Structure 1
Amino acid sequence: MTATATYHFNPFSLVTRVNDEIMINTFPSNRVIFSASHQPIVDYMIDKGELEESDVLKFIAPSRLQELVHRKVLLKGAPQPIAGRYSRQLGYFSMISEQPAELQRKVQGSHALILGVGAIGSHTCWNLAAIGVGKITLVDFDTVEESNFNRQLMYGPEDLGKFKVDVLGDKIRAFNPQIEVVSINKKITSLDEVVELVRGVDIVLKAIDTPEESMDWVNTACANAKVPYICGGFLDSTAVVGPNFMPGKTTCSACQGATGSVVRRLHGTGPTFGPLATLVTSMLSMIAFKILIGKADGFANRIYMYNADNGTWDNELVLPNRDCAVCGSTKPVAANDEEPHKSAVLSFRALFVAMLTLTVILGEFYTQPLVGVMAFFGMFASIPVINKIYGGNALRARREFFVLACIYIGFSLIGLLVRTLYSETFAWPHTLREAFTTIQVVDGHIVQAALSVAIMFFALCTVTEVVPRIMKFLNQEL
């Protein structure tokens, strides 16, 4: 007898009744809707505990079961206890993974190094301790001052004059006795010291701004050891997260030409603001978590800036330098990830060119009236193919759409040229006036072609980005 899979109802899935519908989960990507008449089925899944697949399929269709599993309503395996320190966190993990316990094990088996425990370092330290990072090493030499209190929540008046690493270490150990916290009272003064500190760690938070060479040291040490690092801070009144380094996937600070630059502070103390510190460290903590579980590609090669005027995060794309003296040997994905797609793209372009060639032949030599329409719809049929090739990378998909639009309009011009040359009324210009007239006609067609490329490109991008949103909206309403 073949064993069937077992499931249990996600205890963290919120179930509500809205008019004549039962809604499971709230956010659209995880939401499942049942009609009120199916409430006994929902109650059965909630109360049953462990559910055999064969039993579930007695009252719902296989496609419905797949939907419940995909949207994290039904989790594989027997029910797990939901009490304990990390229980609510495991609930969050259950919404983003089919193996929430495995994510927790990865986090608890990790070692984070925090260089500098001021506003950025201390806040991020608390977040990492809260999610259960198994070992945290703190490095700083500074003492608690009154000016720290506007943004460093881990320190109070009773800590004035004490070493920050000692105060923070004691508070984090008391907060989470299940993790190991190492406090090192030390000022970083050389690359060798950073090299020694990063050995054996899984992630580094660079939260020091002195000495001025510290960015170079952290970047070089982490790139050589293939250890990811994150950093963030403030530029005047703007909160900044990044650049962040993930070996083999992202740019490093040296890629941007920063390494070796001699920067000396001549005057001024940078302003800081508590709410901005909280924003930066929340983002850094999320990126650190994603790196530790191996799901941080969405944050790769981006610097994030918080605009306090309108409450929005902007992000700037930064590209790796293949010839970077520090990380070039790691061959960052963003600089080289076109290689796996190259053959697929070239094959698709060849197929597209063949289709357009056939269109020109059938249209111009055999006067088939519908081939132009077929080619036009073929353009839009390429959208899912391009998106699949590039894995949903919108930037590269748009670039390919532009290439296809140019090819399409180019073949339209070829068709026009063939039609003109084979026209019975065609004659080569014999006078200067006729030559100028011909040039004007050609120029007009070129301008029309350029406009057509722009319109076609805009149409492809619109269909790609707007139609899915419309369909998603309609599905939500239904």
Structure 2
Amino acid sequence: MHPHMFVNPYRFRARLGEHLLLGAVNSVQVRYRPALEALEQGEEVVLTHPEISEEERRFLEQERYIVPYRIEKGNRYARQLGFFSFWPDDPHQRQKRLEAARVAILGVGTLGTQVAYLLAAAGVGQLVLSDKDVVEPSNLSRQLLFGQQDIGKAKVVAAQDRLLSVNPTITVEAYHESIESVDQIEERIAGCDLVVRAVDTPQEIAFVIDEAAARQGIPHIGAGLLETWTMVGPFIDTCTGPSLGELITPPKFVRSPFREIPVFGPTAFWAASYVAGDALRYLAELGQPWTANRLLYLDGRTGRMFARDLRAGAAIGG
């Protein structure tokens, strides 16, 4: 038992008559008495109080209602540290893993801008941006790093400026370029801990990124849009599992060069949240990514979601 224990302010606690309600889901009721007042008030806890049983002490520690550290409210990442506090170990160590991480985002459009924003705000220490395009008026409906003043600017430059204003403690590298070959991608992602697939041309680019990442031993994740459908995943780590090409057969058709991709901002945000969430889960070591070896689908017309295990081949409707 640690000599100093503190109430975890991010765990749900409430008074219910003569009981203290602990936990928002699958709540536990504990008989309230003065010895537990600290849990309600959010103070340092004295676990040696005779009215607190050994079983209660173990429960409070194991479920992290009391923890051997304090999260300062003034910390930029305080609420995120609070989320991390639901896992074992000091959440500050998980934040340090993010600060030491380097992530390449290939494509700074609908998906890439939103993922970049979330990773920068979360404190990922180094971001590498690569994109060949400039900001156009049609981008402004969902690419949140850009404003009217950015029209005509290289996307990576405008994004770099915006991300550094969001979080000046990180570094952002910007490369205004077209990358289509394995060798080009290898050069750009060298030294990264993770790659985000956020570029959709040429048609086979996801598999090119997969090959480059496999050569470097770097995990990668992405998402895509097709008509009114949004797809997320899979998260690929060839150090521990199959490659993208082993899970998905590259398409044999050739897309029409005259096609346009419809985009509904909210469904794109849904995809970006999953991609960024998996990136942060992996980098902070919170457990297996949500999309490890599977695809998530959102039908934009009905709001129904589906998950498909790529190794089992089964699709499950939700």
Change (3 A) 1:192 1:260: farther
For 1:222-260, what per-residue CA distance to the aligned partner results, in whole angstroms no more than 9, with x for missing partners?
112110101102121111101221233333221145359
Q: Which has the higher helix share?
A: 1
Q: Could you say what secondary structure the match of 1:305 adopts?
A: strand
Aligned in 2, Cα 1:47/1:216: closer, same or farther, shift over 3 Å? closer
Q: Supply the AA of the counterpart residue of 2:196.
A: L
RMSD: 2.3
Secondary structure of the 2:85 match is: helix
Native 8 Å contact 1:140 1:187 kept in 2 = yes
* 1:23 counterpart = 2:21: yes
Q: How many residues align?
A: 312
Cα distance in 2, alignment partners of residues 241 and 260 from structure 1: 17
Contact map agreement 1:32 1:68 (CA 8 A) in 2: no
- Indicate the residue corresponding to 2:267 in structure 1: 276
Q: Aligned AA for 1:44?
A: A
Q: Is the 8 A contact 1:115 1:140 kept in 2?
A: yes
Give the deviation of 1:130 after TM superposition. Answer: 0.9
The equivalent residue for 2:5 is 7
**Residues 273 and 44 of structure 1: is their aligned pair in 2 closer, same or farther, counting only changes over 3 Å?**
closer
Give the distance between the partners of 2:216 and 2:158, measured in 1 at CA. Answer: 30
1:115 aligns with 2:106: yes
Contact 2:232 2:291 in 1 (8 A): no
From 291, 299, 310, the equivalent of 2:282 is 291
State the match for 2:298 in structure 1.
306
The code of the aligned residue for 2:30 comes to F
Shift of 1:68: 1.1
Aligned residue in 2 for 1:246: 237
- Can you list the C-alpha shifts for 1:73-111, whole angstroms capped at 9, x where unaligned? 011x24342322111111111123332111111111111
Distance 1:251 1:186 in 2: 29
Measured after TM superposition, the shift of residue 43 of structure 1 is 1.5
Q: Which residue is 2:29 aligned to?
A: 33
Does structure 2 retain, via aligned residues, the 8 Å contact 1:4–1:52? Answer: no
- Distance (whole Å) between structure 2 residues aligned to residue 293 and residue 48 of structure 1: 27
**3-state SS, counterpart of residue 300 of structure 1:** coil
Q: More deviation in 83-92 or 255-264?
A: 255-264
Letter in 1 for 2:81: L
Instruction: Name the SS for the 2:86 alignment partner.
Output: helix
Partner of 1:60: 52
The gaps in structure 1 that reach 5 residues or longer are 321-394, 396-478
Counterpart pick for 2:61 among 53, 69, 78: 69
1:93 and 2:84 are equivalent in the alignment: yes
2:307 to 315, 320, 328: 315
More strand, by proportion: 2
Q: Distance in 1 between matches of 2:70 and 2:282?
A: 28
Query: Is there any run of 5+ residues in structure 2 with no aligned partner, and where?
Result: none
> Highest CA radius of gyration, 1 or 2?
1
- 2:161 paired with 1:170: yes
Percent of residue pairs bearing the same amino acid type: 28
* More contact order relative to length (CA 8 Å, sep ≥ 6): 2
Whole-Å separation in 2 of the counterparts to 1:310 and 1:59: 54
Q: Distance in 2 between matches of 1:160 and 1:45?
A: 53
Within-5 A mapping of 1:67-466: 67-75=59-67, 77-256=68-247, 258-259=249-250, 261=252, 263-294=254-285, 295-319=287-311
